[in-house]
Amino acid sequence: MQPQDLNNTKTAYNLKNTSDGQKYKFFPFLEIRWFAFAFSLLIIGTGIASFLLKGGFNLGIDFKGGVKVDVNINAPDINIKKVRQIFIENKMNAEISTVGKPEERNFMISLPVSSSATTEIDNLKSFLEKQFGTDKVLIRGSEVVEPKIGKAFASRSFQLLTIVAVLILVYVMFRFDFYYGAGAVLALLHDTLVMLSFTALLDIPVDITVIAAIMTILGYSINDTIVVFDRIREIASTNKDEDLLLIMNRSITQTLSRTIITSLTTFLVVLALFIWGGPVLHNFALELMIGIFFGTYSSIFIASPITYMLRRIFDKKLRKATVKSGL
């Protein structure tokens, strides 16, 4: 298979003369940047609106704290999978695990507290009795627990992300220049906001796995972005007089097959998790799928255009790409 396949679709590609007299085929990524920005802002705007309308995220038990009920269900053929199924069917966000040996049919069911703990336990009991029969359910013990992750966690995560962003900015500034650093960091911010928007829109309960998914995507997306930047730097170092816009278009086009292949393989892994990974991994995989898609999208449509625009606004003399050459 040849990677130039993409270049043969004549309709989508422009031919322009470049400074070194050769003709290159590329897609006008930067010319359509306003569509991309509008699209992203639309998603983020919808996310914020949904966040405000719903009064915040749907917090999972990790953040909220809740009741932990140790319950014996004395029904034949009952197992953890069936119990979990029942909670999912009734749209209840519960954490379920077995206590002791599986054949003893004791389960630990954790639910986030919405009203008071005692009503929550009573509700759970009557819910289980309705499902399995009155004499089949025995509450063996219960306790009300504080959140696994305290309130400080949110601000702590925010601090952490800020430190990460600053360090990445410094590194990219050192290896490229300030505009590239800003482009990379803004692309990361974009990815975080898009993922949070979908979290609010789709009512995904925020717990540790969501945080892990967001961090995973940040690592993934920055990698993607730098690969494109690297190519821009390489082309720029041999074509000093060429317009930055053309160089960027060429670079994104040239790295496109790599970007798509990598995203595709990773996406397929996560898709497998989504389809076959069972209910617990469902939200995690969903967040990752959103993240991989938009992480890839941002490395193509957000990072370079932002770099280009920042440079055009603040550095009018340097519209040509003069960047230190590679390693």
- Contacts to another protein from residues 286-305, by CB under 8 A: 288
Task: Show Cβ contacts of residue 195 under 8 Å, excluding neighbours closer than 6 positions.
Answer: 213, 214, 217, 287, 290, 291, 294
Element (H, E) at 4: none
45 binding another protein? (CB under 8 A):
no
- Taking the least distance from each CB to another protein, the nearer of 49 and 80 is 80
Token pair 């400074």 is found at: 19
Let me know if 76 is exposed, middle or buried by CB neighbors in 10 A (0-12, 13-18, 19+): exposed
Contact 299, 222 (CB under 8 A): no
The structure tokens listed for 112 are 């986030």
Q: Among 132, 142, 124, which Cα is nearest to 79's?
A: 132
184 binding another protein? (CB under 8 A):
yes
Contact 50, 201 (CB under 8 A): yes
94 binding another protein? (CB under 8 A):
no
Exposure string of 39-58, with b = 16+ CB inside 10 Å and e = fewer, is ebeebbeebeebbeeeeebb
Q: How far is the CB of 42 from another protein (least distance, A)?
A: 28
- Taking the least distance from each CB to another protein, the nearer of 48 and 281 is 281
49 binding another protein? (CB under 8 A):
no
Binders of another protein among residues 107 to 136 (CB under 8 A) are 108, 117
Alpha helices in the chain (DSSP H): 33-54, 61-64, 80-89, 117-132, 152-175, 178-201, 208-238, 244-276, 278-301, 303-314
Binders of another protein among residues 245 to 274 (CB under 8 A) are 254-255, 257-258, 261-262, 264-266, 268-273
- Taking the least distance from each CB to another protein, the nearer of 125 and 175 is 175
Total residues at interface with another protein (CB under 8 A): 82
Q: How far is the CB of 96 from another protein (least distance, A)?
A: 6
Q: How far is the CB of 46 from another protein (least distance, A)?
A: 27
Contact 112, 93 (CB under 8 A): yes
Binders of another protein among residues 74 to 93 (CB under 8 A) are 79-81, 84
211 binding another protein? (CB under 8 A):
yes
Q: Which residues pair with 66 in a beta bridge?
A: 112, 145
Q: How far is the CB of 304 from another protein (least distance, A)?
A: 15
The structure tokens listed for 224 are 């993607």
User: 212, 241, 314, 324: which one contacts another protein (CB under 8 A)?
Assistant: 212
User: 148, 202, 310, 312: which one contacts another protein (CB under 8 A)?
Assistant: 148
Contact 256, 219 (CB under 8 A): no
User: 30, 222, 235, 323: which one contacts another protein (CB under 8 A)?
Assistant: 222
With contacts defined by CB under 8 A, name the span among 49-57, 128-136, 275-283, 311-319 that binds another protein.
275-283
User: 19, 167, 203, 319: which one contacts another protein (CB under 8 A)?
Assistant: 167
Q: How far is the CB of 76 from another protein (least distance, A)?
A: 18
- Taking the least distance from each CB to another protein, the nearer of 1 and 313 is 1
